[in-house]
Structure 1
């Protein structure tokens, strides 16, 4: 059942984007694979785990290994299979090994109910926007990167779930790419806008803004009220995440 659950998630990742979904790469035990292979392994009960998205370093390593087969494809799914020993252990219903408890990783610099750290963001079109100049508006600050599959997956739902419902309200959305030069970001933004994701994009190449707000994983969203106070924050692109953010936006308008 667990394997079928992972397989269902994989199918979901293919359809999540809608008609304009980015290309997807499937890795099975760190080798290029296909959906047909995943389906076969799932039917055999061989799928151990699945993860959506990779780090920037992992993506660069994959590009070095596979070249154009990775290319600029934006969404990577990693599938791990059980080893023969693990299969035997499962068949014998051996108890899982005892592991030490993991320590929760810190994700935020800025705490809830604190005044949001002011910043000046240079947008891709050359204009500048200063956070403190947006007082009187609710502001959603999103941190992303061009290599981050979950970030891009989230973007495909931003227009319908965030922008359209609040287009006539005192609301501003800022998408800030972290640790990347403006030329690289501009190239990706041109493609995103062509696919219908036309909103405020800026670059934070030296992570000056990012370092005042978050750490570790992206995407991250920070919701700031009309007085400049942080009221909500979220990490990742879990199911229902944008709906929860939209609910919090309505509370602040």
Structure 2
């Protein structure tokens, strides 16, 4: 009987954490960007408070890494993302943007800066500010992000070419960097844009 209540409690927590009715989720997923779609435009703020848009990186391959400071797998993937970023540091046509989403704290900017400084991560982090209702997830909906960490690679024409969700804790930093490198190479190939 105790196992039954634990099972029911887990299901209820999962349902409540979603916050969106199942029918609405289906509709959102249909409207969200998928591989082959033109990447949705965004305007986000970097850690200095400056606005950053997709247009700032026109003609470049963009690696977006959606993450949050409270997300253990996100933080565990960062050593591998640092290796990947370092592999392309001499390539001006590849840009890594780390998009912080779904923060639960009001002082999320301070938490982000503190986390980056403590770990000496030299990442370009963009924070998705809150709207008038306190929501921070618009970009997640636009990109069809259902879990973090999620990596999205956009080609030079602005088309989404690759996506990877999650992180296996048994993955070494080099293995993750290899996967990101494969995604970037896939994005560098000329492919027709989805109509």
Normalising by structure 2, we get a TM-score of 0.68
Rounded to whole Å, the distance in 2 between the matches of 1:182 and 1:123 is 17
Q: How many residues align?
A: 151
Secondary structure at the aligned position of 1:141 is classed as strand
Instruction: State which of 243, 246, 252 in structure 1 corresponds to 2:178.
Output: 243
The correspondence of residues 114-153 of structure 1 with structure 2, limited to 5 A, is 114-153=37-76
Q: CA contact under 8 A between 2:61 and 2:184: conserved in structure 1?
A: yes
Does 2:95 match 1:189?
no
Secondary structure at the aligned position of 1:110 is classed as coil
Q: C-alpha displacement at 1:187, in angstroms?
A: 2.3
Greater percentage in strand: 1
**1:37-93 CA distance string (max 9 Å, x none):** xxxxxxxxxxxxxxxxxx9x99xxxxxxxxxxxxxxxxxxxxxxxxxxxxxxxxxxx
Normalising by structure 1, we get a TM-score of 0.54
Q: What residue ranges of structure 2 are gaps of 5+ in the alignment?
A: 1-13, 18-24, 131-135, 189-195
Structural RMSD (CA): 2.6
Greater percentage in helix: 2
Rounded to whole Å, the distance in 2 between the matches of 1:144 and 1:185 is 13
Q: What residue ranges of structure 1 are gaps of 5+ in the alignment?
A: 1-54, 59-104
The residue that corresponds to 1:230 in the other structure is 160
Q: CA contact under 8 A between 1:137 and 1:171: conserved in structure 2?
A: yes
Larger RCO, structure (CA 8 Å, separation 6 or more): 2
The residue that corresponds to 2:22 in the other structure is none
Q: CA contact under 8 A between 2:97 and 2:124: conserved in structure 1?
A: yes
Q: CA contact under 8 A between 1:182 and 1:203: conserved in structure 2?
A: no
